[in-house]
């Protein structure tokens, strides 16, 4: 694990979480371009375009998956993004139950402000949405590119990965799999949530 070199610059009270609207597309793109990079630190355009398309689809179809949240700072600037999606065939074939398990996808925070709680706030709110939708467990798959920051983040929240998915991202590119039982799912009562989206975002 790398040393934490600076104190928090961004109090969590100044982070706002809302559903993705893509009204600041350039800022979302900038966050993806600084995070989805190859070994030469260049943006992987095809992957970035695929994520942006997925985000557009979600905005156009807000009642379905995937669903994304964005974090904004007090001046409205986009600070990070994170989404939920139904688990894929690969996980289903491994015996993971799609009815009760939801996958966390595309977790990216502005590289200038990581380790300031933005990712944690996004995750807290996504967990709340997951539970209000009736899910009991979350899955995360993360490849070697995100070993340092990403794997540490998931391990901090979900404990050690439960499995290594061999060559999941192509030859020799293994992924780690986290599967985490959401304790809050045990005490959540559906009638606490008259409106899904609002309840999720009021939870802070
Ligand atoms: C993973 C990510 C979304 C977390 O967002 P964040 O705003 O930094 O998260 P938080 O501030 O809430 O939590 C920080 C935790 O993440 C982990 N972490 C983040 N950056 C780290 C780094 N450079 N070195 C080690 N751990 C790191 C640590 O567990 C850290 O906890 P700590 O600060 O108490 O030690 C963000 O670091 C990111 O965008 N990383 C690059 C893309 C990525 O890896 N995405 C996941 C793909 S599966």
Percent of the chain beyond pLDDT 70?
Answer: 89
pTM for this structure?
Answer: 0.91
Cβ–ligand 1 distance for 153 under 6 Å, the answer: yes
Supply the CATH number for residue 66's domain: 3.40.630.30
The whole domain housing 77 covers 12-202
The ligand 1 atom nearest the CA atom of 145: 44
Residue 36 CA: distances (Å) to CA of 83, 100, 162, 190? 15, 29, 24, 37
Give the distance (Å) from ligand 1 centre to CA of residue 190.
31
Q: What is the pLDDT of residues 20-41, one digit of tens each?
A: 998 889 999 999 999 999 999 9
Q: What is the pLDDT of residues 115-142, one digit of tens each?
A: 999 999 999 999 999 999 999 999 999 9
Q: What is the chain's mean pLDDT, rounded?
A: 90
Q: How many domains does the chain have?
A: 1
Domain-located, residue 118: yes
The ligand 1 atom nearest the CA atom of 122: 12
Q: 90-106 burial by CB neighbour count: b if 16+ within 10 A, else e?
A: ebeeeebeeeebbbbbb
pLDDT at 198: 42
């Amino acid at each position: 694990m790398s040393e934490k070199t600076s104190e928090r610059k961004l109090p969590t009270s100044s982070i706002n979480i809302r559903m993705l609207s893509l009204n600041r597309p350039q800022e979302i793109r900038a966050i993806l371009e600084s995070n989805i990079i190859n070994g030469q630190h260049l943006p992987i355009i095809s992957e970035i375009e695929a994520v942006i398309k997925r985000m557009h689809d979600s905005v156009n179809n807000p009642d379905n998956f995937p669903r994304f949240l964005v974090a904004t700072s007090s001046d409205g600037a986009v600070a990070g993004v994170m989404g939920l999606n139904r688990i894929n065939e690969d996980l289903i074939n491994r015996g993971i139950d799609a009815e009760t398990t939801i996958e966390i996808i595309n977790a990216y925070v502005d590289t200038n402000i990581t380790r300031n709680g933005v990712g944690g706030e996004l995750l807290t709110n996504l967990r709340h949405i997951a539970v209000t939708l009736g899910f009991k467990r979350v899955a995360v798959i993360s490849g070697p590119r995100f070993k340092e920051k990403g794997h540490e983040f998931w391990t901090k929240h979900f404990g050690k990965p439960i499995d290594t998915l061999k060559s999941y991202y192509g030859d020799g590119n293994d992924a780690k799999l986290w599967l985490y039982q959401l304790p809050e799912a045990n005490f959540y009562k559906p009638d606490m949530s008259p409106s899904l989206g609002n309840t999720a975002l009021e939870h802070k």
